[in-house]
């Protein structure tokens, strides 16, 4: 490419992050691939010149790592075009079963890690890029829109990210030319579920008809179906080239179907009890 874009990819050691790093490089663009263990990217580093690939150590739970990565990107390349805000992991178990410390650690990565990367990205896009501008792609989930039994804290972390990014996108000055998109992904056959070694269980939730019992069985086995990660990142890459990028981007038929059904259910409940709001004016915003 005559003017290759520069991408920052978090969580590039495996899964969608690794797939995206490989695709960006194959497309002739420039990748800053980050991982908690950068040695997992040694093979990529050996295959591409330093002018096209920069590998950095980055633990998104450490703000100093995040800031150092953006400083190094500025020093090496002078600009940054796309951030693939991908680092994260999953957790399963009933709400009552999940230890608070483990749930907080999940939020440190999935929410605060992603938020701190996003804040640094927007600052870089505005203050460093000349002219200003950039694209922030947040890897969310269909479970960031609706929730499911046995996934309460994971879905909560993604719900929180979705809500904050909606607010963040609304705060940006259009003149900055910064776009934010939440990628509400369906199930892709990545390592993320294979790394799910623990599914917390509470002794009160043992009745075979309870949904969490079935969920635990499925999660600890081989999940059926799933889309190919390479196909997913190709479509995300194609999305990044569009002039008008949506704030919400559902990817995968499972994601599209579940989100549409959830929105329909919300509308049905709102309509069913709409009469209860008669006489309750609420907030009157002045246009």
Which residue out of 13, 158, 179, 227 is catalytically annotated?
Answer: 158
Which residue out of 13, 140, 227, 240 is catalytically annotated?
Answer: 140
E strand or H helix that includes residue 56: strand 53-57
What is the rounded distance in angstroms from the CA atom of residue 162 to the CA atom of residue 109? 15
Instruction: Enter the CATH code of domain 6-277.
Output: 3.40.50.720
What predicted TM-score, i.e. pTM, was given to this entire model?
Answer: 0.93
| Whether 154 is catalytic | yes
pLDDT band, residue 15 (cuts 50/70/90): very high
| Whether 158 is catalytic | yes
Q: How far apart are the first and last CA of the chain?
A: 45
Report the candidate in 137, 168, 169, 129 with the shortest Cα–Cα distance to residue 241: 137
> 3-state DSSP: the chain helix, strand, coil percent, rounded to 5?
50, 15, 35
**pLDDT tens for residues 212-262?**
888 877 777 666 677 889 999 999 999 999 999 999 999 999 999 999 999
How is the beta sheet containing 53-57 ordered, strand by strand? 53-57, 30-35, 6-9, 82-85, 134-139, 178-185, 248-251
pLDDT, residue 198, reads 64
Q: Where are the domains of the chain?
A: 6-277
pLDDT band, residue 204 (cuts 50/70/90): very high
């Amino acid at each position: 490419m005559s003017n290759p874009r520069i991408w920052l990819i978090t969580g590039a050691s495996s899964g969608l992050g690794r797939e995206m790093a490989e695709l960006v490089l194959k497309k002739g663009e420039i990748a800053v691939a980050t991982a908690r263990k950068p040695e997992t990217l040694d093979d990529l580093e050996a295959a591409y010149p330093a002018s096209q690939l920069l590998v950095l150590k980055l633990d998104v739970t450490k703000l100093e790592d995040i800031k150092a990565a953006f400083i190094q990107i500025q020093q090496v390349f002078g600009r940054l075009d796309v951030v693939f805000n991908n680092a994260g992991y999953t957790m399963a178990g009933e709400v009552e079963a999940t230890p608070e410390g483990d749930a907080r650690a999940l939020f440190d990565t999935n929410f605060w890690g992603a938020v701190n990367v996003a804040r640094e990205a927007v600052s870089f896009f505005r203050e460093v890029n000349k002219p200003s501008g950039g694209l922030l792609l947040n890897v969310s989930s269909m479970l960031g829109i609706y929730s499911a039994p046995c996934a309460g804290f994971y879905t909560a972390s993604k719900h929180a990210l979705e809500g904050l990014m909606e607010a963040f996108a609304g705060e940006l000055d259009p003149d900055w030319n910064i776009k934010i998109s939440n990628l509400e992904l369906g199930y892709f056959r990545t390592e993320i579920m294979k790394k799910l070694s623990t599914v917390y269980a509470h002794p009160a939730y043992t009745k075979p008809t309870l949904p969490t019992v079935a969920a635990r069985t499925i999660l600890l086995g081989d999940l059926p179906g799933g889309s190919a990660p390479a196909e997913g990142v190709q479509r995300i890459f194609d999305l990044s080239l569009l002039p008008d990028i949506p704030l919400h981007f559902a990817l995968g038929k499972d994601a599209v179907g579940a989100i549409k059904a959830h929105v329909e259910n919300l509308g049905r409940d709102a309509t069913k009890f709409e009469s209860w709001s008669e006489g309750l004016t609420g907030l009157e915003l002045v246009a």
